[in-house]
Chain A
Amino acid sequence: MTLGPTARDGEIEALVVDRYLESLLDRDPLDDAAVPSDLRATADRLARGLPRYHPSFRFEEELAARLAAASGRVGRLIEFPIQEARALVAGDERAAPVGPVRPVVIGGMLTSAALSIAGAAYVAWRRGRPPAHAMTRAVRAVARARTS
């Protein structure tokens, strides 16, 4: 089948736009005059503005438990990425994700700066709660003594 001039032109334009999108997603957008300015502005707005929806912590853990049960193991200990959460809460830029910051929606709640309120609350809860294990209490007591 031979493509007519319109279809072929459309495919070429789509290829050029795709190349621009690739550079945009690589955080190094091309200054390509072949891509119409309104398409560039729209792509940029969508790439930055479209939120990423994240499941709630509760749902994620419940489903993990169901999958563990389905796979024949129930009650596996699941590690919480507490260091990452602390770095985000403390605003440690070295640990912060690179690239444009998108809005993040966790289980229906929009956060203002890609920071999980649920995660921050969880970290605060963990730190404020007396540890059940004697060894953990001892480690925290030593840490407090060193910092005070």
Chain B
Amino acid sequence: MARPALRRATRPAEAGRPRLAHLDRDRSLVDAARADPARFDALYRKYVAQVYNYAVYELGDHHEAEDATERTFLSALAALPRFEERARADDGDGASTFRIWLFKIARNVVAERRRRWRRRPEAPLDLATDAPSPRDVESTVLARESAASALRAIDRLSGDRRRAVVLRLVHEMTTAEIAEILGRSDGAVRVLIHRGLRDVARELRSRSPEGRA
């Protein structure tokens, strides 16, 4: 299934011509929440796991991530009347400017917490390996080790490089969506992801038995 892309470019022929408003994927939910703020719950349920996941990858701590998630949704609820849907006709059916807007808020909240926190924990990736599994069979251990080494490699990436790779491969966002969230061009995001993958590949190679030999 082809996934939607948000494009920055405007076709010259369409410039200055009034365009039909395009249905954002979340328009009905946003409209309902605007009419009755209690119905914000549907948007919350839809995106809480994504925002929390983003915050864990950024902050490396479940409690910090919960605080960031709470602040993100409370801010979004308060700011919902000011939210502007910006999906365009060529954005595709799956476009959600609400999700991009929400992730921008999350990014700001995380940045603010970082400024106050000043220091990231040394080994946030142990989050995934701390708890003993009730079914510790060999395959589980191997999968866990593989995930842990991938997480360690991701964690070594610099800020936007890590964010771009995580948003692309974990949240499965398009480069255009990531560009909107990070405030960069599509091309710059593609280069960030490419370099991030190269760094991770190098890191994983150096840690493998063959790479160390």
A interface, CB within 8 angstroms of B: 10-11, 13-15, 17-18, 21-22, 25-26, 38-39, 41-43, 45-47, 49-55, 59-60, 63-64, 66-68, 70-73, 76, 78, 103, 105, 107-112, 117
Contacts and interface: CB of A to CB of B under 8 A. Distances in A.
Given A42-B201, A68-B41, A26 B128 contact: no
A92 B1 CA distance: 24
Interface stretch (B21-29, B104-112, B188-196): B188-196
B80 to A, nearest CB: 10
Contact of A52 (B49, B201, B204, B205): B49
20 contacts: A25-B168, A39-B194, A39-B198, A42-B201, A45-B204, A46-B197, A49-B150, A53-B62, A54-B49, A54-B52, A55-B48, A55-B69, A59-B66, A66-B70, A70-B74, A108-B62, A108-B130, A109-B131, A110-B128, A117-B134
Interface of B: 1-3, 37-38, 40-41, 44-45, 48-49, 52-53, 56-57, 62, 65-66, 69-70, 73-74, 77-78, 127-131, 133-135, 140, 143-144, 146-147, 150-151, 154, 165-166, 168-170, 172, 174-175, 187, 190-191, 193-194, 197-198, 200-201, 204-205
Nearest to B145: A49
A75 B173 CA distance: 34
Given A11-B187, A110-B128, A50 B151 contact: yes
Contact of A14 (B48, B49, B131, B191): B191
User: What's the dominant secondary structure at chain A's contact region?
Assistant: helix
Given A42-B200, A50-B170, A53-B53, A73 B38 contact: yes
B103 to A, nearest CB: 15
Contacts of A15: 190
Given A10-B191, A17-B197, A72-B38, 12 more contacts: A11-B190, A21-B169, A21-B193, A50-B147, A52-B53, A55-B48, A63-B69, A63-B70, A67-B40, A67-B41, A68-B38, A112-B134
Query: Which of A14, A60, A63, A112: most chain B Cβ within 10 A?
Result: A14
B187 A43 contact: no
A67 B69 contact: no
A79 to B, nearest CB: 10
A14 B193 contact: yes
The 8 closest A-B pairs by CB, nearest first: A71-B37, A14-B194, A73-B38, A14-B190, A53-B56, A42-B201, A55-B52, A109-B131
B204 A42 contact: yes
A50 B128 CA distance: 10
